[in-house]
A and B are shown apart, each in its own frame.
Chain A
Amino acid sequence: MAFAPRADSVWWASVAAGAVYFLTALVVIARRISFERQRLLLDRIEAGLASAPAGQEAAAAVAGAAPLSLLWAIGSDASIARRVHLSVAEALVLRVGAPALEAIVRQNRRRGSRRTAALRALALTRAGASWRLLRLTLDDSSREVVGATVALLGEIEDRRAGELLVEALAAGRYPRSRVATALEGSAEDISDLLVPLLSSDDAHVRYWGTMLIRRYDVPGVSSLIGTLTRDPHPMVRKAALHSLGRMRTAEAVEAARRSLEDPVPYVRAYAVRAIAALGVRATLTSVLPLLADRDWWVRTAVKEALERAGEDIEHAVIPYLSHPDPFARNGAAEVLQNTGGFERLLTLEANGPSDPQRLRLLERLAEAGGLRMWDGVLLRLDPAAQGRARALLTAAHLEAGR
């Protein structure tokens, strides 16, 4: 028929499809074999490293004798342990040569894995112009290459790596959160590089400087961060509070307390968290009025902070069971439930002589917490106490609270 595909074209289509099918199957098999070889090589390098006393030499010998294609593949994979990378890097520098590796890195049109492997080999062995190349690839037009460089700089324990990363952070060449992650793991003290970031004109830079500096015990930094709790940008105020929580100074406590009145809800929430982290009981009571905050995030932060303080804070929470704001009443009851205070009161009342003051308190808890809170607490009591607690509930007309 005129419309039907010609018999020979159908036959050829089948032959072509068959050929491509077998070709792709061969590629799958080849890749699988290559994967297996790479895995075996990694195992042998690891075994070499583990062999005392000359582990590094044994590993270098294994890497030195391995096919180059496998070394390229391993060299580009950041998930492999650093000690293995070092053996592979040395083998690549030895066999390919630093100038050839530099040439591969400079081929800025190539985004391939080989470029990353060459860069890693140079950087880990500090061979050739590795620092200049790292700076070059940080400015690369490909985000993937910049990302690989940032991750690589994070692996290198050298102050110069920190300098390059701080530069990248300030310039915003790559998502700052990722640069900060690379900086966060740095074993070097780079606090002097971070302090200038706190006074940057760019709020994002101030933010990340504040987040990163908290790891270091730098004299005077606490007061500097304290001033950032008054920064015009709420994001920076949040970061300052986040960092202050780790600095147990009087300035930190004062700055956090002041921020409880910040107009931005998430800053207030972070002020609460900072106060909780500072762990000063007297200050913790200052977050209690925020149980009535109009924002759910702030109320949640307050409840979490109080619950973490546990039994210590219960007496300060109890007055809030009669607060005019229903959120505050609910919140206070929830806190007493989660600190175990409610359960303890009920157990005491069920197991011993009745106390009118305790009964009144239970009544207030019933009103503030509602039926389900009662049911939950009752379930947690032992069976005998459960029966008495239920009888008590009826006798004292506490169901009214339901």
Chain B
Amino acid sequence: MQTLVVLAVVVCFVYLMAVLGAFVLMLAGSGLEHARLAYQARSEDYDALSDSHFTIPVSVIAPAYNEEVVIEASVKSLLALDYPEFEVIVVNDGSRDGTLDVLKATFDLEQREVFYRRRFASRPVRGVYRSRTRPNLIVVDKENGGKADALNAGLNLARLRYICTVDADTVYYPQALLSSLRVPMRDPATIVGVTSQVTISRRPEVGGSARAGTQRVDGNALTDFQLLDYMRAFVNNRLGWSRWNFMLCAVGAFAVWRRDVVEELGGFSGAFTCEDIEFTFRVHRHFRRAGIPYRVIALAESVGRTEGPDSIGSLISQRARWQRVITETVWHYRGMMFNPRYGSVGLVGVPYYVLVEVLAPFFEVLAVAVIPAAWWLGILDWRDVGMMLVAMALANGILTNLAVLSYARGPRSYAMRDLLHLMGLGVTDLFIYRPILIYAQAKGVIDFLRGDKEWHKFARNRRQ
């Protein structure tokens, strides 16, 4: 028994060191990429770009399912994007609430027959609506078929050269498209996809327009922990993935794709719980196999605010789904792992994903079980365990501070007291937030093994 526990502790320790090493590597890459992007962004003449006739037109597709609370704010924010030429296609994916009614009333919609190519299969479209007041808005009402299906229905109607997939529970900043599209505009032949980060809010439709330096965080611990989680993921990790060209997840909340690539790959797949990670993997596989130079880029700027669950149950449901999606995608594309044919994606990206995301719940659960056992059996001294936890909490705090650093001086800068609040929260993450995630991830793996493919949309946060 004692030998087994010792072995388990060693395995957990080795895993912890491997993850830390991987984080440090990604942090280095992200730091370099962040410096490059920040320099690029500071040199950019956004006024000239926003008036230019030479920007690339974009079709924004927003699938919506039961979003009556936030849909108005979300679509209004999309229509207010500061970009020369774009259209917004909202796809009501068989909502059972008043999403379509809100859209009809707010944007003065009228049903129009549109004859279009049905290039991508989707559940039947019940009607297409045009707005009397907003000529660049189209609303597609269709039977429920899931997010990928809704995106495919939107793709059939999209007319422009780039596709931007967004979420209808997110409120976007006016600069979102311009700050993202400026990158592929530099090299449209090579850059096939761009993603950017979103920040978390309990009620994204409220606030957010405050000037730099006065932005406020929610003040709700659970959503603030999620905000930090998003910041760390993007600023400390994904910029590094992007630098080394294995950006493996262009997030569903904001991803820009070259239209011809989406068409060539047959649109979004409904065979997976979520479409975003799977599509990004498919893009990498396609271009690596064909030997065509390409890039999928991550940017550090926040493009909008999305609703984060404000109850533990909802958070577990959401994160379990994410874990399931990651596991099922990595399992599906396991042939890319350590395969030199796929370059940095196969040799670094997929193994990194497996190490940090797929295996995490196994080792975390194991650690939670064996460390108390090791202490009880007298293998570990409780003071050493305590100090180790303190060191880990502080290491997490450092990662948080480095992510917060990018916000300390920028257009989305938070008020000083909120920055202090976030940095303080970063140290407690290990003891409060992480256990919830461990449970959710373990649940996600079990759900994957049970073959669950449901979306399990989390319950809408309560509005007072």
Contacts and interface: CB of A to CB of B under 8 A. Distances in A.
Interface of A: 1, 3-5, 7, 10-11, 13-14, 17-18, 20-21, 24-25, 27-29, 31-32, 34-36, 39, 76-79, 111-113, 116, 143-144, 147-148, 151-152, 154-155, 175, 177-178, 180-182, 184-185, 211, 296, 300, 327, 330-331, 333-334, 337-338, 369-370, 372-373, 375-376, 379-380
Contacts of A13: 387-388, 391
B48 A151 contact: yes
B398 A24 contact: yes
Nearest to A19: B394
B127 to A, nearest CB: 7
Interface stretch (B146-154, B375-383, B445-453): B375-383
B49 A181 contact: yes
Interface stretch (B51-59, B243-251, B309-317): B51-59
Contacts of A1: 6, 379-380
Secondary structure class of chain B's binding surface, majority of residues: helix
A20 B42 contact: no
B39 A144 contact: yes
Interface in B301-342: none
Interface in B149-206: 159, 185-188
CB-based closest 9 A-B pairs: A148-B43, A17-B394, A373-B113, A24-B401, A376-B111, A35-B409, A330-B115, A31-B408, A14-B391
A182 B45 contact: yes
B413 interface: yes
Nearest to B211: A39
A169 B149 CA distance: 43
B42 A21 contact: no
Contacts of A369: 113
A331 to B, nearest CB: 7
Contact of B52 (A113, A181, A380): A181
A375 B128 CA distance: 12
5 contacts: A78-B42, A79-B45, A147-B43, A151-B48, A380-B110
B300 to A, nearest CB: 15
Given A18-B394, A151-B48, A338 B112 contact: yes
Nearest to A79: B46
A376 B110 CA distance: 7
Nearest to A331: B115
A76 B54 contact: no
Interface residues of B, number: 62
B185 A154 contact: no
A21 B48 contact: no
A178 B185 contact: yes
B99 to A, nearest CB: 19
A300 B427 contact: no
Given A369-B113, A373-B112, 12 more contacts: A3-B9, A4-B380, A4-B384, A5-B384, A17-B394, A28-B419, A180-B54, A181-B49, A185-B51, A211-B53, A331-B115, A379-B111
Contacts, number: 179
Contacts of A39: 212-213
B117 interface: yes
Contact of B397 (A21, A148, A338): A21
Given A11-B387, A21-B394, A24-B398, A34 B409 contact: yes
A10 B54 contact: no
Contacts of A181: 48-49, 52, 54-55
A86 B152 CA distance: 50
Contact of B398 (A21, A29, A177, A211): A21
Contacts of B54: 177, 180-181, 184, 211
Contact of A337 (B36, B113, B186, B402): B113
B163 to A, nearest CB: 15
Q: In the complex, which of the residues B53, B113, B213, B394 has the most CB atoms of chain A within 10 Å of its own CB atom?
A: B113
Interface string B1-21: 000001001100100000000
B115 A25 contact: no
Given A5-B388, A14-B391, A32-B416, A20 B398 contact: yes
Contacts of A28: 401, 404-405, 408, 419, 423
A29 B401 CA distance: 10
Nearest to B112: A376
B106 interface: no
Nearest to A76: B42
B40 interface: yes
B408 A32 contact: yes
Contacts of B10: 3
A27 B405 contact: yes
Contacts of A300: 159
A274 to B, nearest CB: 15
Interface string B105-119: 000001111111100
Contacts of B115: 327, 330-331, 334
Nearest to B125: A372
Contacts of B213: 35-36, 39
Contact of B44 (A10, A34, A151, A184): A151
B395 interface: yes
Given A178-B185, A370-B113, A376-B112, A31 B212 contact: no
Contacts of A330: 115
B390 interface: yes
Given A376-B110, A379-B111, A155 B39 contact: no
Nearest to A304: B159
B383 A25 contact: no
Interface string B394-426: 110110011011001110010010011001000
Contacts of B46: 78-79
B16 to A, nearest CB: 10
Contacts of B405: 24, 27-28, 31
B437 to A, nearest CB: 21
A5 to B, nearest CB: 7
A10 B48 contact: no
Contacts of A5: 13, 384, 388
A382 to B, nearest CB: 14
A76 B46 CA distance: 14
A219 to B, nearest CB: 23
Nearest to A149: B43
Nearest to B119: A296
A184 B394 contact: no
B301 to A, nearest CB: 12
A154 B52 CA distance: 12
Given A17-B394, A18-B394, A79-B46, A31 B113 contact: no
A34 B416 CA distance: 12
Contacts of B110: 376, 379-380
A346 to B, nearest CB: 14
Given A7-B381, A29-B419, A185 B9 contact: no
B413 A35 contact: yes
B113 A4 contact: no
B384 A10 contact: yes
A11 B383 CA distance: 10
A111 B10 CA distance: 45
Given A10-B388, A373-B113, A185 B48 contact: yes
